[in-house]
Every structure is written in C-alpha cells, then in structure tokens.
C-alpha cells in the first residue's frame, strides 16, 4: 500500500507502510508464535487476512484548524491539526463521508478545540460504517453550546449522507487525553446502528465497542463457531462480550446456555436487542465487571470466552479460571504479550489451537485466537 501522508511525513501511525503485505502477515504470525513460546500441543493455523487498505470501519478524527478551514485527522507535536480525511485505511463509505463532516463543521460554526490555548468546542468526529453502508456519526464537544446548531443542520447532513442512521453528541468538557466522556445526546430517531455479518445481526450503540475490521471480525467469529462445534459445550460465558459477537456466535453454533458479561451498559443494551431480534432465548447479557461477576457464580460453564483489552485478563481472572471447573477457554487477544503472560498464570490449561487474525494491516498489531483445554 502507498500513502501520500506517510511519504510526506505528515502521519507515521502505520509503522509498516510500504512493506509488502505478505511480509507483514508473516511477521505478525511469527510475533505471535514467538510471544507464546514453545508450548507442546499448540497447533497454529495459517493467519487470516483480508484487504490491506480500505478496511477500517471506524474513523477517529481529531478536529483542528478553524471553522472556515477545519482539519480532520491528528495533531502534530505542537498541538495543531493535520488533515487526514483521505486516509486510505478507511472503508470507501467513511472516506466519502469525511469531507461532508468537515463541511458541516463550517456550516454549523462548530469551533474546533485548540489544545495549546484550551479554547473551542469540537474535539473529535467519530464515524462508523456498517457492512450495509449505514453510518453512525458522533461529535465530541466540550459543552452543549453547539447543540442547537447541530440540530438545525441535521436535515442537511441527512441529505448529504443518505446512509446516516445515528448521529449523536458526546460531552467531554475536561482538558485531558480522553477520547470521549460519559454523557451522550442522541440527535436522530434511531440510536443503534445495525451490523449484519457472519450470520449475526448486531446492534451498535454510540458508546459500544466493535472490532475495527469488519471482514476479519466476521472470520474471527466464524472460526470461534467452528472450534466450538467440536467441543460439545452445553454452557458458555462470554466475558468482555462487547455488543455480543462471541456470545451470539456460540448460541448460533448450538450452545444452549450462554451468558455475556460486559462493563458497558450501552453495549449490554445493544446485545440484548440483538438476541431478542434473533429469537435466541438461551442467551442473556449482564452488565458488570467480568472478574467480579465470574467469581460470584456458584458453578463454572463448560466453555469460557474471554476477549479482554490489551492489558489482558489479569491475575485475578486468570487465577479464577485456573481453579474453575470449566473444560475449555477461547481466548481472543489483541496483544500476544499479555496473552502469554495470562497463559503462564494458568498452569492448569494448555493451548491446543491458535490462529492470527490481521485486524490492523500496515502495523504490528494483530488479533490472536487460542483454544485452551484443561490438562
């Protein structure tokens, strides 16, 4: 892949830009294998890859510049905006939407937040595209001062972006390196974005989490379903379940009793909606801390799925899993280093299957799915 921004030195986020993709894929696979080290019985499948560009379903754009000439992209070292609206990583629908969103900044007189002076209102524009082209757009503002103008220009935004499903404002008044705040104001009639993939009908709410690469996420869920069918599990937990991707996949793969646990109440609401729409009576979702919830249960299920953030599941949950009565664990990790550390803290378990999923081409980041069985 070739990128003008990278070549010009304007953005170096994609550290492997320009490296042949087959070499990138071999490198991430080797990195995962090296991180986990020698583990007898672990069989690796070939890594999963899709497109090396135009794959990102989410754009997280810092807003800079001025009302008349806004930038959507990143900040330079001085805190000034660098425009990246033509980034080649974004899916086509996102690429086409960003100039419209920049034009809205001017039309609605949304003053970009200036980090050095701590003045202005609009901090970020966050946009997500669904497989069917539907769009969710979020504006991260310091206050509600711009809300009336955004509402006024919402019909224009619908005209320019016919695929717009959800638009909202997130309020983040503090001056710190936090992407968004806790309060969300939905501007549209609909508050969830349908995500239909791999036989699933997921629902994403403004503060919910979904994988950045839709095609690779679909492959990840399909692999989890295939591995699960061989286990004969009658019960399963999906810890850190997000909008319910793994939980709904397990239910669809024939596991009759599935529970998803997620800290985000927004994500749990969306997951429950998806389960109801799919008519899956055997799956339910709970809002709470994954470790605390698991520790409070009387009995462990046959299968536990964990899909934690980069830091991993941590010593407490690893210890609980090691002493539990579960028979299998599916561990989906976005950081093979923390995965290896967690496996070392679970001596009663052995990994038997592993596969790398290249969610983030042009970088060293990757997703790893590992199946564990009790020794």
334 catalytically annotated:
yes
- CB-CB neighbours of 210 under 10 Å: 22
Using one digit for the tens of pLDDT, what is the confidence trace for 69-90? 999 999 999 999 999 999 999 9
Mean pLDDT of the chain: 96
* Closest-CA residue to 102 (of 68, 55, 57): 68
With a cut of 90, say whether residue 303 has pLDDT above it.
yes
Report the candidate in 104, 109, 106 with the shortest Cα–Cα distance to residue 159: 104
Strand-pair partners of 239: 261, 306
Q: Is the dihedral of CA 39, 40, 46, 50 positive or negative?
A: negative
Q: What is the dihedral of CA 95, 100, 101, 105, to 10 degrees?
A: 150
| Cα 222 to Cα 215: distance, rounded to the nearest angstrom | 11
Mean pLDDT of 182-210: 93
Task: Look at residues 264, 249, 130, 269 and name the one whose alpha carbon lies nearest to residue 209.
Answer: 264
The confidence score (pLDDT) of residue 178 equals 86
133 torsion bin: left (phi>0), alpha (psi -120 to 50), beta (else): left
pLDDT at 319: 97
- Given a contact cutoff of 8 angstroms between Cβ atoms, the answer to whether 124 and 105 are in contact is no
| Catalytically annotated residue among 3, 14, 87, 334 | 334
> What is the band of 372 on the pLDDT scale with cuts at 50, 70, 90?
very high
Go through 265-275 and write b for each residue having 16 or more CB atoms within 10 A of its CB, e for each that does not: ebbbbbbbbbb
Give the pLDDT confidence of 126-176 residue by residue, as tens digits.
Answer: 999 999 999 999 999 999 999 999 999 999 999 999 999 999 999 999 988
Maximum pairwise Cα distance, the chain: 64
Look at residue 209 in the predicted model and tell me its pLDDT. 85
pLDDT bin (cut points 50, 70, 90) of residue 196 is very high
CA 261-265-271 angle, to 5 degrees, is 60
Ranges 198-202, 255-259, 335-339: which has the least confidence: 198-202
- Would you say how long the chain is, in residues? 375
Return the H-helix or E-strand segment holding 64: strand 58-65
**Banded pLDDT at 350 (limits 50, 70, 90):** very high
Cα–Cα dist 342/320, whole Å: 12
CA distances from 339 to 259, 310, 311, 330, 347 (A): 23, 9, 9, 12, 13
Q: By mean pLDDT, which of 195-199, 218-222, 312-316 is the weakest?
A: 195-199
The secondary structure of the chain in percent helix, strand, coil, rounded to multiples of 5, reads: 30, 30, 40
Helix (H, G, I), strand (E, B) or coil at 56: strand
Question: For the chain, what percent of residues have pLDDT higher than 90?
Answer: 93
Q: What's the pLDDT tens digit per position in 204-244?
A: 999 888 999 999 999 999 999 999 998 999 999 999 999 99
Q: What spatial distance separates the first Cα and last Cα of the chain, rounded to whole Å?
A: 44
Write the CB contacts of 221 (distance below 8 Å, at least 6 apart in sequence).
Answer: 197, 198, 200, 245, 246, 249
């Amino acid at each position: 892949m070739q990128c003008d921004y990278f070549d010009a030195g304007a953005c170096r986020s994609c550290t492997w830009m320009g490296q042949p993709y087959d070499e990138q894929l071999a490198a991430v696979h080797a990195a995962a294998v090296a991180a986990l080290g020698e583990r007898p019985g672990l069989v690796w499948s070939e890594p999963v890859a899709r497109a090396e560009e135009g794959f990102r379903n989410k754009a997280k754009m810092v807003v800079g510049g001025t009302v008349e000439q806004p930038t959507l992209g990143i900040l330079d070292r001085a805190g000034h905006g660098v425009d990246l609206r033509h980034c080649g990583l974004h899916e086509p629908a996102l690429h086409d939407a960003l100039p419209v969103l920049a034009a809205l900044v001017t039309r609605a007189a949304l003053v970009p937040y200036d980090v050095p002076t701590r003045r202005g209102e609009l901090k970020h524009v966050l946009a997500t595209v669904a497989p069917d082209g539907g769009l969710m757009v979020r504006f991260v503002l310091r206050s509600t001062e711009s809300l009336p103008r955004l509402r006024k220009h919402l019909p224009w935004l619908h005209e320019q972006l016919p695929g717009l499903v959800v638009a909202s404002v997130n309020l983040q008044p503090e001056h710190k390196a936090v992407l968004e705040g806790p309060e969300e104001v939905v501007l549209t009639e609909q508050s969830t974005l349908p995500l239909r993939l791999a036989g699933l009908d997921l629902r994403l709410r403004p503060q919910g989490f979904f994988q950045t690469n839709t095609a690779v996420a679909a492959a990840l869920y399909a692999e989890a379903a295939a591995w699960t069918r061989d286990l004969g599990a009658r019960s399963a937990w999906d810890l850190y379940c997000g909008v319910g991707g793994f939980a709904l996949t397990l239910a669809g793969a024939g596991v009759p009793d599935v529970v998803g646990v997620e800290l985000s109440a927004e994500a749990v609401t969306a997951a429950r909606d998806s389960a109801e729409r799919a008519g899956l009576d055997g799956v339910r979702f709970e809002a709470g801390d994954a470790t605390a919830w698991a520790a409070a249960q009387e009995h462990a299920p046959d299968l536990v799925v964990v899909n934690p953030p980069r830091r991993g599941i941590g010593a407490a949950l690893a210890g609980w899993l090691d002493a539990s009565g579960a028979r299998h664990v599916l561990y989906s990790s976005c950081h093979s280093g923390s995965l290896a550390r967690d496996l070392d803290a679970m001596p009663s378990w052995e990994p038997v299957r592993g596969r790398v999923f290249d969610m983030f081409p042009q970088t060293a980041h990757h997703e790893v799915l590992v199946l564990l069985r009790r020794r």
